[in-house]
Structure 1
């Protein structure tokens, strides 16, 4: 099979160069948002029509679901800049396409069918053909946060340790309790749908850039995955951008919530990076240990408990999150994200999943959809 990308598979040297070149601790956001029919609030598979109304604006692109548009913000030194860019893009989307679709963001749609129309773009044809009905279930929305590191060896060390923090970030960002009209009993059903496909969840450790290059060489040789974009784990070393990409958060209903999640990711990377630079050997947990906590985040969000993987004890998730945010506070201040981190503290008490249930338990899943639309442009931090 001929690769669609001449640089595929990447070499260890090429990977190193990409991560060495990226400006340290800049942050960017990819925001997957749902298109809803104005009359019924069902998912509306008209993304190509919406994209045409945006006139080639590079901030917007199609994704696999035909009922979804992705917003991409440029890399920024501060989360405040990235959040402002996200709000501006959401406003543009509403201004130019709000007459043909309502816009909303959450991990999944609360009541539409979980099987829907997909965009038949060239880059998705193999996914659709290979995974069939499982691909049709991927009507899910994530918030993806990219943080550059500025040094290849530092990036690799941070990646291996940051895996342990994915469950806490997932718990904070859990925002998908309703699916196909019912409360699933999960704080986030989105990752369970993702697991219908391979290369999902907690990623493997990567021992060296040579071993990372070998992953892609094997994928190309076996035709198992034909580009780096289908290395779908919840944290990945982005081979093209030279960033750590956090893919674990659900789509966030409000811009302020998205900014808070981005601030935590940026401060976490900076904290681990500074420890690495000081000569500390960063601890690396086993995937199965992290996966135990990942299940708790999926099931309970912030309202459960998790294992401290290195201490061998168990504590309430809220307690672990409060402790982490306190540790990250000076790092966030250095990055100009003190306000966003303070909002993350409020999300420890009431995150998206809890807020959705407060609407949906008395009003039903359709009330949740209305609520999501109403808050699409909400940038308040209260």
Structure 2
């Protein structure tokens, strides 16, 4: 079980910031908005694609690209060592506008500092927030964050599937704007994010409260285009911008995640990580919950630390789990939006008994009135009511949408129903 995100001690070396880069006090009056986020996970051997999480990093630089869903005049990042067993020593970090691939526009590169120091140590299970730097940004703009680790990190806290290419270089290249040294990427290129859990922006104007999308691989975006930014939360952010009211949309999905049970592949259970990954996001107003299909169909997934597989779930258990999320959201004055469980007939894990559970959970969601409103993703992907995702809306496995399917999901959301 994960704990709510806190602000543990961060050890730093006192090095003054140069005058060339304006640094603002973190305790100032600025309102910070989450511009991008990803839920972190414990390092593990991924059974379906390679990552760098278990081996960690030694005398290596990481370059990670993210797309912001809101802009501002200042920016800062959040780093996590939540699953680290030892302190994490970060030698240096920079941020700048993305050029092409691993390259950064040189005139936008800023050194990131932590309590005034260009290096920091993040305690085991701890987090760190960088000092703000001046870097004007716009919604849907890409930023590149470079991290250099001189000392061995050990296994890395990470997000398993980024669908965005992450680059690695031998030695210290965190200040190097060119892509020349960043020749190493994970293949196949599903990609992962390491230690990075958030980017925040601040400016003169207060934005509407963020929408956090909470779920499994359908929220995380499996089946979307690598480096294409066409997951359903990405498209939802584009819809807000096109409507003339840009609003942060933060993706808190984890592939293979379950609502009720921790998973060796899919991370902490949804009910365990909800506070950290949703409610503790800055300036949040609404959460969209799409969760439960993996609880139904992945009964052979080992539960970490127990030595046994997950037990079959009932519809009532899933409903009770959703009720826990609703209560937690309402206790923080957060609008809770339920998303109907999408069809998966034809997928490897489908069963008639599981279909009965899915139907009962969806009926409760649509009729109980317990969620503040409901988004019918099941209907968006199966508009004819066949019990299967329409053929042109999935990637061929009958469970994961393709980019057209993700757009159909985003288009099914009434923006007004998400509140302000």
Q: Same fold (TM over 0.5)?
A: no
User: TM-score by structure 2 length?
Assistant: 0.26
Higher relative contact order (CA 8 A, sep 6+): 1
Larger strand proportion of the pair: 2
